[in-house]
Amino acid sequence: MSDRPILIIGGGPAGLEAARGIADIGFKAVLVEKEGILGGTPVHSSYAALTPDFRPAKEAMAEMAAAVTNNPGVDVRLNSTVTAATGSLGNFEVTLNTADQGEEKISVGAAILATGFQHFDPGRETQQYGYYEFDDVITLVDLEKMLSAGNVVRPSNGEPPKRLCFIQCVGSRDRQIGNEYCSKVCCGVAAKESIEVRKLVPECKVFIFYIDMRMYGYWENEIYWPSQEKYNVNYVKGIATEVIKKGDRLLVRGEDTTMGRPMEVPMDIVVLSVGMEPSKGTIEMGNLFGADLNKYKFIETVGGAINTVATTVEGVFACGAATGPADIEDSISSGSAAAMKAIGALRRAVTT
C-alpha cells in the first residue's frame, strides 16, 4: 500500500469532507488552504445560514473543520498554495508555498482539486442594474453579511427597507455574458434570504423576480412554499431590465408576465442573485495539474453521470464547485466521492 498521502487543495466544504473521508478510511491527507482559516466560501463570505436547513454557516463549517484539525490522518497547511506539480498517479511531486515559511516539496499519491467558485461580479460585464452606481443595489453575498450581523438596512441611509426585491439569474443563463449554465443555488438562497428578511424586518415587503424558480427536491417544501405561504414573499415571473434612481428610492423596470403587462415598481433595496464562476484557484490549479477546463473554465470532469470527480489527468480528481455550480450538499457528497475514487485509484496503481 502506498504511504504517500493524498493532496487536497481547498479547505471548503468539499475539501474538508474529502480530507476527513480519506483519514477515516486510514489513509493520509494533506489539506492545503490558501487562507488562514478553514471553511471556504461560506466562512470567507460570511454566510449567515445554510440553505435549506437554516443552520448557522459558521457553526456547520466549524464542525467540519474540527473533524480535520483534530485528526491525526490530516496534515492541514493553512496560508499555503501549491506552486508546482509534476509526476503521475502514485507519485506527484508538489511544491507548497506557505506564508512566512517558504517552499517545501512533498510527494503525494493523488490530488483532489476542491478549489471552488467565486461569486459573479455584477459589474464585470454590464452595469445594467447599477451595482457600482447605487448603494442600495447589493448582491446575495452582501445581504448574507447583513443577515450575519442581524441588521438589514439600506446602505444609502441606514434605514430599514420597506420594499426589497431579488433579481434572479444575474450572471447566469446568459449567452451574452458567457455563463450559459444555471448556478443552481441562487433560487434556494434567495428564497432562504427572503424568509430571513421577512423575519428580521416584518414590515418589509419582499419580491423575487425570476425566470424559473429552480427549487429541486425538498427545497420546494422546505424553502419555496414556506416563503410564499408563511412569509408572504411575492414571486413575480419576469426579469427586470433595469434599475434606475427615482427620488431617494430605486425603480425596477420589467415585465410582469403573470399579469401580462409592463411593470415599474419602487424598491428600497435591490438584491442581485449572482451566480457562480470558477475561482481563480480553480483555473490556476487546473492548469498547474494539466487538467482540462471546460468552456466556462470550471474543471472538466470526464466520467459523465457515473463518475462526477474524474478529470482528464489520471490521479487528479475534482469536487465541489470546482467542477461547476454546486450547493453545499452536493459539494460535500462529491468531496466524499473524490476521496473514495482517489484512494481506489491509488490502491490499484500500487498493487498492479
Partner 1 sequence: MGLDLSGKQYRKVPYEEKEALLEEVKEDLRFGDYMYGCYDCGICVAACPSARFYDFSPRKIAQSVAREDVDLFYVFLNDSVWDCSQCFSCDRCPRQNSPGGLITLMREVAVKHGLASAQEALEGYGRVVYKIMSTGTQVSPDMLQANAFPDWGPHVKDIAENLDVWRKALPPETLHTTEASWKVDEKTLIELYLIWHATGVMDMIKEVDEGLFMILQDVMEERLEDAGYDVTFD
Binding footprint of partner 1 on the chain (CB under 8 A): 205, 213, 224-225, 228-229, 232, 234-237, 258-261
Picking from 116, 125, 225, 106, the residue whose alpha carbon sits closest to that of residue 174 is 125
Of 229 and 248, which CB lies nearer to partner 1 in the complex structure?
A: 229
Q: How far is the CB of 213 from partner 1 (least distance, A)?
A: 7
Give the span between the Cα atoms of 118 and 113, in whole angstroms: 15
Give the span between the Cα atoms of 98 and 96, in whole angstroms: 6
The SS3 assignment for 212 reads coil
Of 196 and 300, which CB lies nearer to partner 1 in the complex structure?
A: 196
Helix (H) or strand (E) holding 345: helix 328-351
**Which set of grid coordinates corresponds to residue 320?**
465541489
Helix (H) or strand (E) holding 7: strand 6-9
Picking from 137, 178, 125, 157, the residue whose alpha carbon sits closest to that of residue 273 is 137
Q: How far is the CB of 222 from partner 1 (least distance, A)?
A: 14
Cα angle for residues 234, 325, 270 (degrees, 5° grid)? 35
Of 218 and 225, which CB lies nearer to partner 1 in the complex structure?
A: 225
Of 101 and 232, which CB lies nearer to partner 1 in the complex structure?
A: 232
Q: How far is the CB of 228 from partner 1 (least distance, A)?
A: 3
Of 128 and 234, which CB lies nearer to partner 1 in the complex structure?
A: 234
Q: How far is the CB of 50 from partner 1 (least distance, A)?
A: 23
Residue 92: what residue type? F
Q: How far is the CB of 66 from partner 1 (least distance, A)?
A: 39
Residue 236: what residue type? V
Q: How far is the CB of 235 from partner 1 (least distance, A)?
A: 7
Residues with Cβ within 8 Å of residue 77, at least 6 apart in sequence: 30, 31, 32, 33, 96, 98
Of 228 and 294, which CB lies nearer to partner 1 in the complex structure?
A: 228
Residues with Cβ within 8 Å of residue 322, at least 6 apart in sequence: 10, 14, 113, 114, 115, 116, 117, 278, 279, 282, 285, 286, 298, 299
Q: How far is the CB of 171 from partner 1 (least distance, A)?
A: 24
Of 129 and 210, which CB lies nearer to partner 1 in the complex structure?
A: 210
Q: How far is the CB of 125 from partner 1 (least distance, A)?
A: 29
Of 151 and 221, which CB lies nearer to partner 1 in the complex structure?
A: 221
Picking from 344, 345, 351, 352, the residue whose alpha carbon sits closest to that of residue 88 is 345
Q: State how far the alpha carbon of 104 is from the alpha carbons of 81, 123, 204, 285, in Å.
A: 11, 39, 54, 17
